[in-house]
Structure 1
Amino acid sequence: MDLNELAGRFLLLFLSILVLYFFSNRKDNETINPLMVIVGLCTFSLCYLFTKIEIGVGIGFGLFAIFSILRFRTQSFTVNAIIFLFATITLSILDIMYPFEKIEILLFFQVIIIGFYIAASVIVNKKASSYLNAIDMKIPLVSDFSLENGNIRKAIQEKINIKHFDFKIVLVNMVTNEIDLLVFY
């Protein structure tokens, strides 16, 4: 594999991951850390290295153990982040391992994976993407207040004059007797 082919494969992966990242961060209340893009680029580099050197089964088990420890020792990921990671790892392995002589099949797989990802992202995020603005809001938690959807909606409408909105409860603070909300409108 010469330098031009390697650069072309890397550029294809980088553009693919950027498209996935753009469509992953369309929800206002859930974003993916931009550093997660590095996972796909690192996988690409590792797979390139593994095609150039002879590796044993022990290295494979070692990598599996490292990823397992990271999974159980770090914060929990959202479903959106896990799907993004799996898609970037898959694309990176495809980009480096697929034979260059069959570039049209590689491009077909890239387009299919990215197409399904975009379609699913648009369908899943349709509700969240219909609201362009978001604000943080606090409402008092009085003794007769219940956390039912209708009660919270009424309290929000009393504070701001908006008819069509959605909200997410961020925190119920029993010390200050307040509910922290994220309101999408």
Structure 2
Amino acid sequence: FVLIRVIYYPIHRKKDYLFTYFLFNILIFFLCVLLNNVKLSIGFAFGLFAIFGILRYRTEQIGIKDMTYLFSVITLAVINALVSKKVSIAELVFTDGMILLVTYVLEHLWLTRHEAMKQLIYERIDLVKPGRRQELLDDLNERIGIKVSRVEVGRYDLLRDTVQLRVFYFEDEQDHRSFNELAADDDD
């Protein structure tokens, strides 16, 4: 908790990774506890490693949160396949219940607001100067129609007189459609 919530999140502010780190921690803990009670053959251990290795070499792009759910589903399947005399049904039910409860709490009841981020190419390079931060925020608010909470400046392209910006905003503060919907309309 301290590593993820107190050290990592205040600096990086990536809620999807926060969710992933907490859930991976719980899943791996329960998987190791249950696997510790079952004597496994080398073949089964390599098979388990191969299942999780497939996640790394996927062909279709999948988001970090979706990948976490995929890992969760695989973990639950492996855990539930371990029914034996050494692992009781009560232990499996408790483990499944805890994984589902932690997932629900992290997904629905977590006390952080979701700060979304979009990357933009911005041509008003004069507003990117440190002394004009509020003007930059006001211009972005006006032009893209969302309430921007903060901006990170990326790479400058002085030939085109543009700069890459990472624009952060809270989805629950928006008066209308999300930035994703606005971007989809622009693509049409």
TM (norm. structure 1) is: 0.42
TM (norm. structure 2) is: 0.41
Q: Which has the higher contact order (CA 8 A, sep 6+)?
A: 1
